[in-house]
Structure 1
Amino acid sequence: METILHFFRTYPEMAIFLTIGIGFWIGQLKYKSFTLGTVTSVLLVGVLVGQMDIAIPGPIKSVFFLLFLFVIGYSVGPQFFQSLRSDGIHQVIFACVLCVLCLVVTVVIAKILGYNPGEAIGLFAGAQTISAVIGVGTDTINTLGASAADKQAWINIMPVCYAVTYIFGTIGSAYILGTLGPKLLGGIDKVRKETKELEEQLQKSSIGEDPAFVDANRPVVFRAYKVDTNWFDTPRSVSEIEGKMQSMGRRIFVDRVRIDGKIVEETPDLKIKKGDEIVLSGRRETVIQDESWVGEEINDPELLTFPVESIMVLLTKKTACGMTVEELRRQKFMHGILIKSIKRSGVEIPVLPGLKLQTGDLLQIMGMTREVSTAAPLLGYIDRPTNKTDLIFVGLGILIGGIVGALTLRLGGIPISLSTSGGALIAGLFFGWLRTKHPTFGRIPEPAVWILNNLGLNMFIAVIGITAGPTFLEGIKEAGFMLFVAGVLATSIPLLLGIWVGNKIFKFHPAINLGCNAGSRTTTAALGAIQESLDSTIPALGYTVTYAIGNTLLILWGVVIVLFMS
């Protein structure tokens, strides 16, 4: 045992990796629909590892936490600024209202129970499931004029309060929004019916319903047919064939042609006659329908072997931004192009003809290489797969944010600043938005965003847990059962009020209302519960704008809470 203690005390970085490894493993375990989640698991494992009384060098947790905050801002920045000047302003205002409710309710409960700044921050972080507040709160507490002993005691109690309140914060939010919310809005059957009606409304186009845009998760397929029906007694052009399918409400393209045994490049005027072979492309759910009016399907490796490109495009061009999907697909340059998926603030949203596209949306498009090469530059920046991260952009961005955050103003003798962590978040928002204007620099690939987001936060939480380990049990005794009750109230009251406000004041559609509440509280687990309950992805349309606003305000509330409670 002495050897083990000596090893981890000599090499504290090994204790962090031990905590991360076991914490992520436990976080993946699930019983029915219940799971602790990665952050809580890492914290609790850190507390156990911390019983070995391991000293962790200070800068480690700060470095990873700043990386986490910068990349969070980078991810939501485009949507954050776009929402401020788009028709999503009602969702922006709603998110601000709900975030203020979360702040006020938590502060009032903390004041009534006589909590210190550390206990209030821990309560807020757990009840609102916003782990990053712990870091912002820690930075702000360190700027106060209190004694070093008081500040350390407040910092040590934060993870205790977070751990006690986080479980209901997650499970309770999912239950309130996924199960109780639909009942409060008229009953689950009524809300499901209204959600389906909204889906149908968004799916409508001038040529009827377009199944090509119903489910962005279904793959695009290419199938070959031998032309041998009476409709082709008179040779038909490629544009006539595609027009006939369009008149049937199906967006399918002719992508390959073999005439008299020879493969030729298809053009709109190219004539197809009996005996020729063609390849049709489209969404699986459209192409597998009855094509007996064309002819028999054939399996022809030569005909089906040709280059098809699927790329991600960052939407930046004014000619495309603001269009609906239906309007975009009518553009001449979109011929042969299928939209596989759309991500907004990192969240995949349903691809429906009535959906309005926004600057910063990430579109996955697919088609013949020549067609993709024509369309992509007219949409925006081609975000080709790469494993390179612009670390100049990341490093200088965090530095600039940290400098701004470190600036301190004194009001009535009270030092007020964003702290370096708040500055990093604001810098991430700005630089994420800036990249949509100048997409040739500042690239952070999606896998890198994931690693910086998850590893950055959990490295920080691991250090918090290890550092707080020796005093954790004492903190549990000090906090008492009332802390759990306080967490239930701090989670439930803002969400219940939010559902009412969204319904009565903002007049949101029920599905959008629930999605807005989940986004404002940045609780992805609740969004999943809502979508499962309503059997629809429509709630995601209310999640993205409010998620960008909520992720920013809730984290910055860490500064406000410390100032209120001190």
Structure 2
Amino acid sequence: MEWFADLLKHYPELAIFLTLAFGFWIGKFKIGKFSLGTVTSVLLVGVLIGQLHIDIGAPIKSVFFLLFLFAVGYSVGPQFFRGLKKEGLPQMLFAVLMCLFSLFVPFLLAKLMGYNAGEAAGLLAGSQTISAVLGVAEDTINQSGLSAADKTSMINVMPVAYAVCYIFGTAGSAWLMSDVAPRLLGGLPSVKKACKELEAKMGTDDESEQPGFMPAARPITFRAYKISNDWFGAGKTIQELEDSLEGQGRRLFVERVRISNVVYDVKPDLMLQKGNEVVLSGRREFVIGEEDWIGDEVNDLELLDFPAETLPVLISRKKFSGMTVAGLRSEKVMHGVSIKSIKRAGVNIPVLAATKINPGDMLELVGTKMEVNAAAATLGYADRPTNQTDMIFVGLGIFIGGVIGSLVVHFGNIPISLSTSGGALIAGLVFGWLRSKHPTFGRIPEPSLWVLNNVGLNMFIAVVGITAGPSFVTGFKEVGVSLFIIGALATTIPLIAGVLMGRYLFKFHPAITLGCTSGARTTTAALGAIEDAVESQTPALGYTVTYAVGNTLLIIWGVVIVLLM
């Protein structure tokens, strides 16, 4: 054991990776629906390893924290700036008010309990489940005029307060939003009904209500049939068949035709007759059941063996901004192309007829290679899988943001700045928005973005835990069990206020209220719990803009709460 302790002290980088390994492992375990989560698990493992008194250089955690903040800003930038436009302003205003509740409720409770700035920042970070507050609050404390001993004491108590409050902050938020919030909106049955009505209003089809189907992210399929229906009579053209299907509310396309054992290229005026075989493409719920209308399905490998592609496309053309899914489908270039999913700020939103397309949305298109590529060139930028990250873009972004954030403005004797961490976040927002406008540069593939987000944050948290380890037990005794109750109040009050604001002040639809409240508090786990409870993905429509605002303001509140205290 002594050899092991000496090894970690001599090579502190090994202690960090050991913390990450065990933290991610423990974070996978669940008791019922409750899980500590990766971040809290990494922190607690770091605290345990930190009992060995391991010294780690400060720049290590700063580097990874800046990468994390830039990645956060990059992800939500397009939605943040979209919220400034007219159609996004109500949700943005809601998110700002919600974030103010999320700041002032913990602040007032901290004042009431006599907490110091470090304890207040930990309370804010844990109760609002925004781990990045620890980093920006630490930067602000370090820039203050306090003595070195006071700074160290406050910084060491922050992760203690965070860990105590985070448990209810996560599990409590999911419970409040999936159980209590629907009661405040008229009861769960009423909210479920309202969500289904919204789906119907936005163009959900009856088939999507069948067991096994979801209102978004539906799989696209290609299936072959042998024509036997008398409707074809003396013959029907491909155009007539597709028009007839469209008239029945089934958006399907003829992709291949075999006539007298010869496979033909598809042309609108090609005549189809009984005995011919056709391949139809489209959403699975539209294709299923065509046996009754066209003829028996055939399992013909030769007929179905042709190149098809699933291609993520970043929407950047101004023409399609604000266009509905139904409007987009009617575009000539979308013939033969289906929308499999829409991802906005990393969140899947329902693919409904009335769902509006925003710049920066990632649409997953499915069809033949030629048709999909033509659609991608018209809509924006084909985001083909790659393992290359534009590190020039990332490096310059963090540098420029850090320089701006390092500038200090003095109000009396109080130095105020965004700090390099706040600057990196703002730079990420701007650079992410620029990427959505000009997608030929600044690409960060989704796997790389995951690494920057998760590894960046957890590397930082691991160092925080290891550094605070020796004083953690003492700090826990200081904050007391009462902090758990205070943290629960700090979590509950803003969420309840948000639901009531959405219903009575902004008069949002119940689904939008639930989504906006979860988004402004950046509680993805709560969004998942809500969608399970109401059996609909419509709450995600209110999540993305408020999530972008919440992710930005809640992190900046780490600076503000220290200054307020």
Q: TM-score range by the shorter chain?
A: over 0.9
Residue type of the partner of 1:400? I
Structure 2 residue ranges without an equivalent (≥5):
none
Map 1:301-450 onto structure 2 (within 5 A): 301-450=301-450
CA contact (8 A) 2:315 2:358 kept: yes
Partners of 2:437 and 2:283 lie apart in 1 by 32
Between 1:457-466 and 1:286-295, the stretch displaced more is: 286-295
Q: The residue matched to 2:488 in structure 1 has which SS? A: helix
Q: Displacement, 1:275? A: 2.1
Q: Evaluate the alpha carbon distance shift between residue 320 and residue 88 of structure 1 in structure 2; reply closer, same or farther with a 3 A threshold.
A: same
What's the TM-score once normalised by structure 2's chain length? 0.98
Partners of 2:192 and 2:214 lie apart in 1 by 17
CA contact (8 A) 1:203 1:214 kept: no
Other-structure match for 1:180: 180
CA contact (8 A) 2:226 2:276 kept: yes
Other-structure match for 2:78: 78
Partners of 1:276 and 1:337 lie apart in 2 by 23
Q: The residue matched to 1:358 in structure 2 has which SS? A: coil
Residue type of the partner of 1:60? I
Other-structure match for 1:142: 142
Alignment partner of 1:15 is 2:15: yes
Q: The residue matched to 2:339 in structure 1 has which SS? A: strand
CA contact (8 A) 1:236 1:271 kept: yes
Q: Deviations over 1:270-323 (max 9, x none)?
A: 111222211011111111114333222111111100011110110011121110
Partners of 1:373 and 1:560 lie apart in 2 by 48
Partners of 2:291 and 2:374 lie apart in 1 by 29
Other-structure match for 1:463: 463
Partners of 2:166 and 2:31 lie apart in 1 by 17
CA contact (8 A) 1:203 1:210 kept: no
Q: The residue matched to 1:365 in structure 2 has which SS? A: strand
Residue type of the partner of 2:224? A
Partners of 1:551 and 1:210 lie apart in 2 by 37
Partners of 1:111 and 1:214 lie apart in 2 by 47
- Report the number of matched residues: 562
Partners of 1:35 and 1:246 lie apart in 2 by 46
CA contact (8 A) 1:408 1:416 kept: yes
Other-structure match for 1:536: 536
CA contact (8 A) 1:70 1:398 kept: yes
Q: Displacement, 1:229? A: 2.6
Q: Deviations over 1:123-161 (max 9, x none)?
A: 000000000000000011110011111011100000000
Q: Displacement, 1:209? A: 6.4
CA contact (8 A) 1:209 1:249 kept: no
Partners of 1:560 and 1:293 lie apart in 2 by 65
Q: The residue matched to 1:241 in structure 2 has which SS? A: helix
Other-structure match for 2:496: 496
Map 1:19-168 onto structure 2 (within 5 A): 19-168=19-168
Partners of 1:449 and 1:292 lie apart in 2 by 46
Residue type of the partner of 1:220? I
CA contact (8 A) 2:217 2:350 kept: no
Q: Displacement, 1:505? A: 0.4
Residue type of the partner of 1:487? G
Residue type of the partner of 2:379? L
Other-structure match for 1:223: 223
Q: Displacement, 1:214? A: 6.0
Other-structure match for 1:282: 282
Q: Deviations over 1:432-459 (max 9, x none)?
A: 0001111111000000011110000000
CA contact (8 A) 2:309 2:368 kept: yes
Q: Deviations over 1:445-487 (max 9, x none)?
A: 0000111100000000000000000000000001012211210
Q: Displacement, 1:243? A: 1.0
CA contact (8 A) 2:50 2:469 kept: yes
Q: Deviations over 1:185-232 (max 9, x none)?
A: 11111111111111111116xxx8685996333321111111233222
Partners of 1:114 and 1:229 lie apart in 2 by 80
TM-align CA RMSD:
1.3
Runs of 4+ in 1 over 6 A off after TM superposition: none
CA contact (8 A) 1:210 1:353 kept: no
Q: Deviations over 1:319-369 (max 9, x none)?
A: 211100011101111111100000000001110001111111000001111
Map 1:503-522 onto structure 2 (within 5 A): 503-522=503-522
Partners of 2:90 and 2:207 lie apart in 1 by 29
CA contact (8 A) 1:125 1:162 kept: yes
Q: Displacement, 1:86? A: 4.1
Partners of 1:218 and 1:352 lie apart in 2 by 11
Partners of 2:297 and 2:107 lie apart in 1 by 67
Q: Deviations over 1:486-531 (max 9, x none)?
A: 1011111111111111111000111110111100000111111111
CA contact (8 A) 2:207 2:285 kept: no
CA contact (8 A) 1:210 1:249 kept: no
Residue type of the partner of 2:548? A
Q: The residue matched to 2:202 in structure 1 has which SS? A: helix
Q: Displacement, 1:412? A: 1.3
CA contact (8 A) 2:78 2:429 kept: yes
Residue type of the partner of 2:255? D
CA contact (8 A) 1:214 1:352 kept: no
CA contact (8 A) 2:314 2:362 kept: yes
What's the TM-score once normalised by structure 1's chain length? 0.98
Partners of 2:274 and 2:105 lie apart in 1 by 73
Partners of 1:424 and 1:61 lie apart in 2 by 14
Residue identity over aligned pairs, in percent, reads 60
Partners of 1:103 and 1:370 lie apart in 2 by 52
Residue type of the partner of 2:461? I
Map 1:243-282 onto structure 2 (within 5 A): 243-282=243-282
